[in-house]
């Protein structure tokens, strides 16, 4: 989409075309295009409206019902922060006393809108003209045009002296191809500019890929990993006065449509702090090694945010658990740990990995359905499932792992 096509979508005719496209989104695209053309909508406008309606439909999972009024591009939507994560970040910035924020590379504005909703005045800068125009339209649609303004330009030229805080979520996909960029030096704005922000602005937050190499985390920054309903979605570096602890794992879930707004936690601790049903945080140094011991009755599979934050030792402490292999993040305990930070399974059998022996055991137990978890195993779960030729009325969980270096399979059942 170019600026002219976007402008056409914002006219009364464009709005009517969008309404017509929205009614047909999710159905047969050729039939939808035919219906819009039959209603007298010009082909170019019909195509733009149908694309927009389809993107809005896909965006509901990320933004909730507000997606219905947003303007989106495919790469912008793919890179946008989901609302539950953006709201939580905005809430934390506001609690830290931030009143004015520059969002340097604001994309479609998901983070900026959350900050504006939290009562922060946001100055967005976006290099791509269509994305910048859409971000401004999204602010208007959300009734936040006075709190979030967008300038189209190069974020590296923004005068950061104008604001209390900066947020930067650099593009990690190549413009044009949409291919993921794994090397931070190829991010845009560039990594040295992004990390240099922390030296210029005392309140700086940078969103990064959850796979970031720990060696790249600037000294003194807090690195936070965030998961939503068990899926690892991002990492953020909280720099300067915003850094509270070295490492944090934050577990969020999508709020139910009727839920009250997110509440802030009082203050983080080196153990777990929780708001029932809303979010959970585990904090610590990220530098402690968990103790290694034998396989015990219960195995705990930590949330990926805990693993990536290197907080497995802190979790082990909290649930009185040990590893069975120093390099594998399964935690073993004599009792099921009542923790939101890990899934717990009861181990019924431990055997050195052998397809023949495992098949025989599962046949004896009449296991016809198995979920397969793995850490530290090169086995392909779906191939193994086929090779096991499961049959029977029972269900089981199989954990493929290593114990003291040896390939091992744990036959398990869920706890409670």
> Looking at 105, 124, 240, 284, which residue binds ligand SAM (CB under 6 A)?
105
Stretch that binds ligand SAM, among 36-44, 59-67, 126-134, 338-346 (CB under 6 A): 126-134
Distances (CA, A) of 391 to 2, 346, 361, 374: 56, 22, 12, 22
State the nearest-atom distance from the C-beta of 109 to ligand SAM, in Å. 6
Spell out the residues 6+ positions from residue 303 whose beta carbon is closer than 8 angstroms to its own.
227, 230, 249, 251, 340, 341, 342
Number of chain residues interacting with ligand SAM (CB under 6 A): 22
Toward ligand SAM, which CB reaches closer, 138 or 397? 138
| Residue 286 binding ligand SAM, by CB under 6 A | no
User: Per CB under 6 A, does 128 bind ligand SAM?
Assistant: yes
Residue from the set 126, 164, 303, 314 that interacts with ligand SAM by CB under 6 A: 126
**186 or 338: CB nearest ligand SAM:** 186
User: Minimum distance between the CB of residue 168 and ligand SAM, rounded to whole angstroms?
Assistant: 8
Closer to ligand SAM by CB, 36 or 127: give it: 127
Indicate which single residue of 36, 50, 115, 125 sits in contact with ligand SAM (rule: CB under 6 A). 125
- Contact range with ligand SAM by CB under 6 A, out of 122-130, 224-232, 309-317, 354-362: 122-130
What would the x/- binding string for ligand SAM be over residues 62 to 101, using CB under 6 A? -----------------xxx--------------------
Residue closer to ligand SAM by CB (options 61, 352) is 61
- Which window, 29-37, 107-115, 258-266, 387-395, contacts ligand SAM (CB under 6 A)? 107-115
Closest approach of ligand SAM to the CB of residue 85, in Å = 9
Q: Is 404 left (phi over 0), alpha (psi -120 to 50) or beta?
A: left
Among 66, 87, 91, 111, the residue binding ligand SAM under the rule CB under 6 A is 111
SS3 string, the chain, reads CCHHHHHHHCCHHHHHHHHHHHHHCCCCHHHHHHHHHHCCCCHHHHHHHHHHHHHHHHHHHHHHHHHHHCCCCHHHHHHCCCHHHHHHHHHHHHHCCCCEEEEECCCCCHHHHHHHHCCCEEEEEECCHHHHHHHHHHHHHCCCCCCEEEEECCHHHCCHHHCCEEEECCECECCCCCCECCCHHHCECCHHHHHHHHHHCCEEEEEECCCCCHHHCCCCCEEEEEEECCEEEEEEEEEECCCCCCEEEEEECCCCCCCCCCCCCCCCCCCEEEECCCEEEEEECCCCCCCECCCCCEEEEECHHHHHCCCHHHHHHHHCCEECCCCCCCEEECCCCCCCCEEEEEEEEEEECCHHHHHHHHHHCCEEEEEEEECCCCCCHHHHHHHHCCCCCEEEEEEEEEECCEEEEEEEEECC
List the one residue from 189, 284, 304, 337 that touches ligand SAM (CB under 6 A).
189
Q: Output 124 or 337, the one with its CB closest to ligand SAM.
A: 124
Residues 219 to 278 in contact with ligand SAM, rule: CB under 6 A: none
> Considering only residues 21, 101, 108, 147, which one is a binding residue for ligand SAM as defined by CB under 6 A?
108
> Is residue 346 a contact residue for ligand SAM (CB under 6 A)?
no
Q: Compare residues 73 and 283 and give the one whose CB is closer to ligand SAM.
A: 73
Minimum CB separation from ligand SAM for residue 122, in Å?
11
- Residue with smaller CB distance to ligand SAM, 174 or 369: 174
By CB under 6 A, tell whether 107 contacts ligand SAM: yes
Nearest distance from residue 93's CB to ligand SAM, in Å? 13
Apex 281 CA angle, 103 and 294, nearest 5: 135
Pick from 246, 229, 230, 227: nearest CA to 238: 246
Site for ligand SAM in 129-188 (CB under 6 A): 131, 154-156, 169, 171, 188
The site for ligand SAM (CB under 6 A) is made up of: 79-81, 105-111, 125-128, 131, 154-156, 169, 171, 188-189
């Amino acid at each position: 989409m170019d600026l002219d096509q976007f402008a056409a979508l914002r006219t009364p005719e464009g709005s009517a075309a969008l309404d017509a496209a929205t009614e047909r989104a999710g159905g047969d695209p050729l039939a939808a295009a035919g219906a819009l053309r039959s209603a007298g909508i010009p082909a170019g406008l019909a195509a733009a409206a149908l694309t927009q309606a389809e993107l809005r439909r896909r965006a509901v999972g990320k933004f909730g019902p507000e997606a219905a009024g947003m303007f989106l591009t495919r790469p912008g939507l793919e890179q946008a922060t989901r609302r539950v994560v953006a709201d939580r970040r905005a809430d934390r910035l506001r609690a830290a006393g931030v009143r004015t924020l520059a969002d340097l590379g604001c994309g479609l504005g998901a983070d900026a809108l959350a900050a504006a909703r939290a009562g922060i005045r946001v100055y967005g800068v976006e290099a791509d003209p269509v994305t910048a125009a859409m971000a401004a339209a999204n602010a208007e649609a959300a009734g936040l045009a006075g709190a979030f303004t967008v300038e189209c330009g190069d974020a590296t030229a923004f005068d950061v002296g104008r604001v209390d805080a900066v947020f930067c979520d650099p593009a990690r996909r190549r413009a044009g191809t949409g291919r993921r960029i794994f090397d931070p030096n190829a991010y845009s704005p560039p990594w040295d500019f992004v990390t240099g922000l922390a030296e210029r602005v005392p309140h700086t937050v940078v969103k990064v890929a959850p796979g970031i190499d720990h060696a790249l985390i600037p000294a003194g920054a807090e690195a936070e990993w965030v998961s939503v309903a068990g899926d690892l979605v991002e990492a953020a570096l909280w720099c300067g006065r915003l850094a509270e602890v070295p490492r944090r794992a934050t577990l969020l879930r999508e709020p139910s449509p009727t839920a009250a707004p997110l509440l802030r936690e009082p203050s983080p601790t080196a153990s777990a702090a929780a708001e029932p049903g809303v979010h959970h945080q585990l904090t610590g140094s990220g530098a402690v090694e968990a103790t290694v011991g034998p396989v015990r009755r219960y195995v705990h599979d930590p949330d990926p945010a805990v693993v990536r934050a290197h907080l497995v030792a802190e979790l082990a402490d909290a649930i009185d658990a040990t590893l069975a292999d120093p390099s594998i993040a399964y935690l073993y305990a004599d009792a099921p740990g009542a923790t939101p930070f890990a899934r717990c399974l009861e181990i019924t059998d431990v055997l050195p990995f052998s397809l023949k022996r495992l098949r025989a055991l599962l046949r004896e137990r009449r296991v016809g359905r198995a979920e397969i978890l793995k850490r530290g195993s090169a086995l392909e779960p779906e191939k193994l499932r086929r090779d096991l030729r499961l049959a029977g009325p029972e269900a089981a969980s199989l954990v493929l792992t290593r114990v003291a270096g040896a390939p091992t399979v744990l036959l398990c059942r869920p706890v409670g």
